[in-house]
Structure 1
Amino acid sequence: MVAVARGPVPLTARSLSTAATFPLRSRVERVNRNDDLDAPGTPDPELAMLTAVQAKRLRALAAPYVEGGHHSPLHNLAHLCRRVPEDRWPALVESHFANLRQASRGGESAAELLAGVYARLLPVDSFNAELAGALSYARVVADGLVFAYALDGPTAVRILTDVDVNRAGLEELGQAAFANLMGVPVEHEEVAIEGRALLHSVYGDSPFVASKALFLSELAQQVTGEPLPKAGALVVVPTRHLLAYHPIVDGSVADAINDLAAYALGAYEDGPGALSPRVYWWHQGGLQSLTVIDHATRTFSLQPPPELLGLMKGLVRLDQAGRLASRATAKAPDIGALTHSTAESIARLAQDPAGLSGAFATAVQLCQAHCAPDPRVAHIDTWDAWATATQLGSALFTGARPQQCRLGEDLVAQLPAIEAEPPADARAWLDAFYLSVICRQHDRADRLCRTPLEVLRQDDSVDEYVLHWIDTLQTYWSKRPMDDVVQKLLATMKTSAPDVITRAPKDFVDLIDYQPAALFHRLITREHDLFAEALHRSLEHHGSYWGDSAAPRSQVALGPLAMASLAYDHGFPIDPHQPHLPAYLLNRERIEELPG
């Protein structure tokens, strides 16, 4: 890769591993630990890329060029100076201010302004009172960042004043600035971080590259062919020549936020063209800083707002359970290894009952993974896996007597006595209920429906519609009045609307999570034809969401299978030869008695 001529090394796997060695704190903090600020080698408090002695000399060299004692930001000049011998500094300073004078002359025609204008992100500390007074149109778009218009001249870039804006017209200038900015050529590279977080690095020679973060979704469409997801993206703009972002689509966001923070700080401090060391959340067209800077201690911390924190928590939980279609769930697991892992996790429960939740999650993966080579559940080993998952699921929420769990003819695990201590895990409850319905374990489903909803409501990783859906199922299964069931189903529908959900990705909700509720609607209204249409559609959605993924959950549409099993038992005509719908579970031909 060719390094950017006027900026630091762009984000790559190699550069990130280097940047990640930086602590999430400004290098200025190290000045605070040294009482002698004039000692050789001590970083300057304001220009940390130079020593205090060097910064003093630079300020002296710049002083004759600053008219009337007005403040002129020296950060970019300091970055340039630190890269050359000090005997070249006088010429470099003279050239720098000559370019600034040339760029500030103005007087361009409206046509010239429109041809060369760009939307521009600038650091807040580059504005003084005089400059801000001449740019009343400019606005702070996020902590540390100001939006303004800039004219790209032959030797320097000039920030447009209100006089310039009035000459060209604010609306016309805005349209031209957007078009010119999006036409700036960039390089793009995808960087995988330890096989989990996928970061996008965008860089180039232009000093306007980082300003594309203002229109990040359009940029993502340009460089990847896909817009950003509804949840947005994490983005950093450490220098004017580069930005890096991570689309928020799965649990890898927890890794990405720290990786981006470390990279941004390193690139910002290395310069030149330093813009911001912060991590931002691009969401619904705006930028919000996640980085909080304690100026007293010169330390940085990451503090996502509650909305983003809840979203991240939901994505991590979904990802850990293998429910999301992502790079992490693209490969098929080794069934043999997964079988032994399930048996071992059951064997450990006698000493560590707290491991039941993990054992159940592994068993669910195993039973679905078996359906890749055995999609109809024709083989006894596949049934054993489904039976074991059903046993563990009910034990997790309702307790269990000692019983055997078969994982094949030669492998039997002993489930010890388990006390009923239901966890606050709403999606695990749904899995356990679906399995009990599919495997026709009505007694287990009865016990599951007595799980207190107050316990499941403590799960803060799920959207409200998930809890309403559980309430609907518990009400229906407990044979309460149908009017109550309908009201709770309506609440499920209302709270699963795209503008309400905050924890789960929209495509996951639409194509996977909501489908059982849609089928249940046709089930309780006894509309056979409409149920068949809805079932066909839900299976198509399942296939569309998972694509060619070999993940265990891609093999079986668990919720639709449970609703189809209920419908089959109520006499609905169900075509058993459909994808993601094991025929011998649906028609009960493989169902056997379970212990416990």
Structure 2
Amino acid sequence: MKHDDTSNATHAPDPGLPMLTSAQAARLRALAAPYSQDGHHHSLHNLAHKCRHAPQDRWPDLVADHFAALRRASRGGESAEELLRGVHARLLPVESFTPELANAMRYARVVAEGLVYAYALDGPTSVRILTDEDVERAGLEELGQAAYENLMRVPVEHEEVSIEGRARLHSVYGDSPFTASKALFLSEVAQQLVGEPLPDAGALVAVPNRHLLAYHPIADGSVADAINGLAAYALRAHEDGPGALSPRVYWWYRGSLTSLTVIDHATRTFSLQPPPQLLGLMRGLVRLDRTGRLATRAAAKAPNIAELTNATAESIARLTQDPAGLGDAFTSALALAHAHCGTDPDAAHLTTWDAWATSVQLGTALFTGTQPQECHLGEDLVRQLPATPAEPPANARAWLDALYLAIVCRQKDRINRLCQVPLTTLRQDDGVDEYVLHWIDTLQTYFSGPSMDEVVKKLLATMETSVPGSLTHAPKDFVNRIDYQPVALFHRLITGDRNAFSQALAEALAEHGSYWGESAAPRARVALGPLAMASLAYDYGFPIDPKQPHLPTYLLNRERIEEIP
């Protein structure tokens, strides 16, 4: 059978109007040609989307209605008061911004790749894009304020959509052609819809057509799933139209939109290329989320201690065949130790101590290696930890966890061994901010015994690099309320200011409780870093009240501490 190249070309997507075939696009251009004899060039993208979903015998009427609306919308002549009353901020696709329009709208600006920011007048029967003459008549500043206020009053519908596992999108849609333009002021929109602004890291956002915007707040590790899910969502909605805006995924950050989508127009292929700053944020959030450090929806359900105990026992048992699983075994054991404190907040029971002791064993083994030893998980449940070589991973926060545990459980030998882990290895962790590495350097220096001047110097470096403007990986809220608190306590500890330490400890515990709220996550139960600093202070004779929230009493005062293999 002979291959029909002509037929294939006819049915291929049109290069200029890809929502139509080449044959359909040719017919539409022929129908529109008589209306373009006024010397103006008119974009056919929105009209093509309408025709795509209509029988071709209706196309002449659709074309006639479309150009009639354009004629009505182009009359102008409104008073300044009428302009201010009806003006709205409006996003337009760059491809619709013809040279003729650009000359008449010098006030408009490109706000992101593929998107132009302009003003539009919402009239009784049509929407008209404002020209420089309109802006001059009403005043640029006054028009901008009115455009913002009118846009924010546009009614919309809102729902949450699950995509790619546990990632969720906020879908914002409505009949108004200005709906998607609300992406310009996304944090205020989020405040209106869900009662809180966007996180400091911003959001992933798509504006596929003028009636829809979708966004995902960048707050936890689900951002890694959301970015691909949102890209597919945006492309489908953009192709469906009408009123197409952009098939791209953007990063809304501090009021600006940055395109993450790279389009190869020659091959019509799409790829996602987040900038380094966003990649750092995503990497940090995935790491934090994976180890249960973030207060998220996933932390709403209390863990089942029996299931967590069995999972930890199984992960230890597998180490004989798969030594690479030691990191996961440590994470599981630490979650179990924290979870026990949900039902045993004072750490009075032997099973709670066993979980803490096992965490110490696994954490130290992860970074310093170990000889074979038994790990007890309560009752008669004992697992053999095999001999492990000293191959420390580049995981800075896991090292801090291991050190905090050794401090709490008064394991001086393990503390010394952990402080011999090369800082150069931990510096290879590309998922943490610089202050974390300075904090590790401070603690290693402190426990290794050089002069206090060196400790103070390194502590100052930790403080200087933990300010919000220096953060590129961790959420500011998490850093301020959780991660930085041990640093503040250590500062009071080495200055010997006992009253200041007591006050700082109370603040740290309050911040811990406020951050986690009603979360049932294991890490919500114990403020591990503050507990480690309080344990040091207790041993130095500081007057520490052992009955404080998130501080297991019998770990703090050493009464539950027993020998660890």
Q: TM-score, normalised by structure 2?
A: 0.98
Q: Which amino acid aligns with 1:575?
A: D
Look up the SS of the partner of 2:341 in the other structure.
Answer: coil
- Specify which of 484, 498, 502 is matched with residue 472 of structure 2: 502
- Alignment deviations for residues 313-369 of structure 1 (CA, whole Å, 9 cap, x no partner): 000000000000001112111111111111111111112111111111111101111
Give yes or no for the alignment of 1:559 onto 2:529.
Answer: yes
- Alignment deviations for residues 493-526 of structure 1 (CA, whole Å, 9 cap, x no partner): 1111011111001110011000000100111011
Task: Give the whole-Å Cα distance in 2 for the aligned partners of 1:449 and 1:40.
Answer: 71
Q: Which amino acid aligns with 1:327?
A: R
Task: Give the whole-Å Cα distance in 1 for the aligned partners of 2:7 and 2:139.
Answer: 49
Give yes or no for the alignment of 1:269 onto 2:239.
Answer: yes
Q: Which residue of 1 aligns with 2:388?
A: 418
Give yes or no for the alignment of 1:490 onto 2:460.
Answer: yes
Q: Which amino acid aligns with 2:16?
A: E
Structure 1 residue 68: Cα displacement: 4.5
Structure 1 residue 83: Cα displacement: 2.1
In 1, are the aligned partners of 2:203 and 2:253 still within 8 Å (CA)? yes
Give yes or no for the alignment of 1:140 onto 2:110.
Answer: yes
Q: Which residue of 2 aligns with 1:92?
A: 62
In 2, are the aligned partners of 1:38 and 1:52 still within 8 Å (CA)? no
Task: Give the whole-Å Cα distance in 2 for the aligned partners of 1:227 and 1:444.
Answer: 44
Q: Which residue of 2 aligns with 1:449?
A: 419
- Alignment deviations for residues 199-239 of structure 1 (CA, whole Å, 9 cap, x no partner): 11111100000001011111111111111111000000000
Structure 1 residue 126: Cα displacement: 0.2
Task: Give the whole-Å Cα distance in 1 for the aligned partners of 2:485 and 2:433.
Answer: 15
Look up the SS of the partner of 2:520 in the other structure.
Answer: coil
Task: Give the whole-Å Cα distance in 2 for the aligned partners of 1:214 and 1:500.
Answer: 26
Task: Give the whole-Å Cα distance in 1 for the aligned partners of 2:519 and 2:123.
Answer: 50
Look up the SS of the partner of 2:343 in the other structure.
Answer: coil
Give yes or no for the alignment of 1:321 onto 2:288.
Answer: no
Look up the SS of the partner of 2:11 in the other structure.
Answer: coil
Task: Give the whole-Å Cα distance in 2 for the aligned partners of 1:192 and 1:587.
Answer: 46
Q: Which residue of 2 aligns with 1:526?
A: 496
Q: Which residue of 2 aligns with 1:25?
A: none
Q: Which residue of 2 aligns with 1:437?
A: 407
Q: TM-score, normalised by structure 1?
A: 0.93
Give yes or no for the alignment of 1:285 onto 2:279.
Answer: no
In 1, are the aligned partners of 2:164 and 2:229 still within 8 Å (CA)? no
Structure 1 residue 43: Cα displacement: 2.3
- Specify which of 6, 9, 14 is matched with residue 44 of structure 1: 14
Look up the SS of the partner of 2:285 in the other structure.
Answer: helix
Look up the SS of the partner of 1:292 in the other structure.
Answer: strand
Task: Go from structure 1 to structure 2 and tell me whether the alpha carbon gap of 1:41 and 1:570 turns closer, same or farther (over 3 Å shift).
Answer: same
Task: Give the whole-Å Cα distance in 1 for the aligned partners of 2:29 and 2:39.
Answer: 12
Q: Work out the number of aligned pairs and report it.
A: 562
Look up the SS of the partner of 1:121 in the other structure.
Answer: strand
- Specify which of 275, 287, 306 is matched with residue 336 of structure 1: 306
Aligned sequence identity (%): 75
Task: Give the whole-Å Cα distance in 2 for the aligned partners of 1:499 and 1:52.
Answer: 52
In 1, are the aligned partners of 2:179 and 2:211 still within 8 Å (CA)? yes
Q: Which residue of 1 aligns with 2:344?
A: 374
Structure 1 residue 40: Cα displacement: 4.9
Task: Go from structure 1 to structure 2 and tell me whether the alpha carbon gap of 1:37 and 1:132 turns closer, same or farther (over 3 Å shift).
Answer: farther
Task: Give the whole-Å Cα distance in 2 for the aligned partners of 1:85 and 1:154.
Answer: 28
In 1, are the aligned partners of 2:164 and 2:225 still within 8 Å (CA)? no
- Specify which of 14, 25, 30 is matched with residue 55 of structure 1: 25
Q: Which residue of 2 aligns with 1:299?
A: 269
In 2, are the aligned partners of 1:332 and 1:550 still within 8 Å (CA)? yes
Once superposed, what is the RMSD of the aligned Cα atoms?
A: 1.2
Give yes or no for the alignment of 1:258 onto 2:228.
Answer: yes
Task: Go from structure 1 to structure 2 and tell me whether the alpha carbon gap of 1:162 and 1:554 turns closer, same or farther (over 3 Å shift).
Answer: same
5 Å-filtered alignment, 1:379-398, equals 379-398=349-368
Structure 1 residue 69: Cα displacement: 4.8
- Specify which of 182, 186, 202 is matched with residue 156 of structure 2: 186
Look up the SS of the partner of 1:151 in the other structure.
Answer: strand
Task: Give the whole-Å Cα distance in 1 for the aligned partners of 2:254 and 2:6.
Answer: 47
Q: Which residue of 2 aligns with 1:215?
A: 185
In 2, are the aligned partners of 1:186 and 1:204 still within 8 Å (CA)? yes
Look up the SS of the partner of 2:479 in the other structure.
Answer: helix
Look up the SS of the partner of 2:88 in the other structure.
Answer: strand
Look up the SS of the partner of 1:472 in the other structure.
Answer: helix
Q: Which residue of 2 aligns with 1:15?
A: none
Structure 1, 143-152 or 330-339: larger mean CA deviation: 330-339
Structure 1 residue 70: Cα displacement: 3.6
Task: Give the whole-Å Cα distance in 1 for the aligned partners of 2:190 and 2:356.
Answer: 42
Task: Give the whole-Å Cα distance in 2 for the aligned partners of 1:557 and 1:256.
Answer: 30
Task: Give the whole-Å Cα distance in 1 for the aligned partners of 2:68 and 2:38.
Answer: 17
- Alignment deviations for residues 455-502 of structure 1 (CA, whole Å, 9 cap, x no partner): 000000000010011011011111111111111111111111011111
Q: Which residue of 1 aligns with 2:505?
A: 535
5 Å-filtered alignment, 1:54-203, equals 54-193=24-163, 196-203=166-173
- Alignment deviations for residues 126-177 of structure 1 (CA, whole Å, 9 cap, x no partner): 0111111111111100000001111112222111111111111111110111
Look up the SS of the partner of 1:188 in the other structure.
Answer: strand
Q: Which residue of 2 aligns with 1:473?
A: 443
Task: Give the whole-Å Cα distance in 1 for the aligned partners of 2:37 and 2:407.
Answer: 81
Unaligned runs of 5+ in 2: none
Structure 1 residue 42: Cα displacement: 2.8
Structure 1 residue 39: Cα displacement: 4.5
Give yes or no for the alignment of 1:403 onto 2:373.
Answer: yes
Look up the SS of the partner of 1:100 in the other structure.
Answer: helix
In 2, are the aligned partners of 1:38 and 1:53 still within 8 Å (CA)? no
Task: Give the whole-Å Cα distance in 2 for the aligned partners of 1:453 and 1:227.
Answer: 38
Task: Give the whole-Å Cα distance in 2 for the aligned partners of 1:91 and 1:416.
Answer: 79
Task: Go from structure 1 to structure 2 and tell me whether the alpha carbon gap of 1:494 and 1:119 turns closer, same or farther (over 3 Å shift).
Answer: same
- Alignment deviations for residues 439-466 of structure 1 (CA, whole Å, 9 cap, x no partner): 0000000000001100000000000010
In 2, are the aligned partners of 1:196 and 1:327 still within 8 Å (CA)? no
